């Protein structure tokens, strides 16, 4: 990538520049895939997997992107992540309405947890998602950008409009304290 921001690439893609659209996808798809990994429980997966869900969501969202006006460089990533979260919730609801599958053989049945569920447990993940939703947008973006998407503090500074990587680090630290408090309250 040549250092173009998401805002610049989005403007070019809207003007019909296919190369800009490809660069925009290359910039956002890997982080969204990492973020979505483990969010869709194994029991809710259909024929398609999480990667397919991410790609379909991004493509559909970008087709209807004309009304979206980014305020900062990280806004598009947040917009795409929210669209993906909505699709994941829809997939979980749809899966909950499907009749339970009866395995052909008891030894074939598997209620495997997703990698994220294995790491922190389903209950903790639910508390995390609930607490994260209660935070201010800036705090939520700081946490997701650093913890879930793996942005460096310098990348976060640019996305969050902070003057330095150190300022972004402090913003993440403060946001994590708020998240911990909200998770503690959600656990009561």
Domains in the chain: ranges and CATH:
1-98 (1.10.1740), 121-188 (1.10.10.10)
Per residue in 15-39, pLDDT (tens digit) is 888 898 888 888 888 888 888 877 7
Please return the burial class of 82, using the count of CB atoms within 10 Å of its CB with bins 0-12, 13-18 and 19+.
Answer: exposed
Q: How far is CA 52 from the centre of its chain?
A: 14
Q: Which helix (H) or strand (E) holds 184?
A: helix 165-186
Cα angle 48, 66, 77 (rounded to 5 degrees) comes to: 55
pLDDT digits (tens, 9 = 90+) for 38-49: 776 766 665 557
What pLDDT does residue 154 have? 92
User: Which residues are within 8 A (CB) of 176 and not within 5 positions of it... i.e. 6 or more apart?
Assistant: 143, 147
**For residue 55, which of 17, 25, 35 has the smallest C-alpha distance?**
25
Gap between the Cα atoms of 131 and 114, Å rounded: 20
pLDDT-based confidence at residue 1 (cuts at 50, 70, 90):
very low
pLDDT at 59: 81
Q: What would you report as the CA-atom Rg of the chain, rounded to the nearest whole angstrom?
A: 18
pTM for the model:
0.51
pLDDT of 175 reads 95
């Amino acid at each position: 990538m040549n250092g173009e921001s998401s805002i610049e690439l989005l403007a070019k893609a809207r003007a019909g520049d296919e190369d800009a659209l490809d660069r925009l996808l290359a910039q956002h798809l890997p982080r969204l895939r990492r973020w979505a990994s483990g969010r869709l429980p194994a029991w809710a997966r259909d024929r398609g997997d999480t990667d397919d869900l991410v790609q379909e969501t991004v493509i559909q969202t970008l087709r209807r992107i004309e009304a979206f006006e980014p305020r900062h460089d990280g806004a598009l990533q947040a917009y795409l992540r929210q669209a993906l979260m909505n699709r994941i919730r829809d997939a979980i609801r749809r899966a909950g309405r499907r009749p339970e599958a009866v395995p052909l053989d008891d030894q074939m049945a598997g209620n495997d947890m997703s990698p994220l569920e294995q790491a922190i447990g389903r209950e903790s993940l639910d508390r995390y998602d609930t607490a994260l939703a209660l935070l201010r947008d800036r705090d939520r973006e700081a946490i997701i950008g650093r913890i879930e998407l793996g942005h460096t503090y310098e990348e976060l500074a640019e996305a969050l409009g902070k003057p330095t990587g150190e300022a972004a680090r402090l913003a993440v630290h403060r946001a994590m304290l708020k998240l911990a408090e909200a998770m503690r309250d959600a656990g009561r």
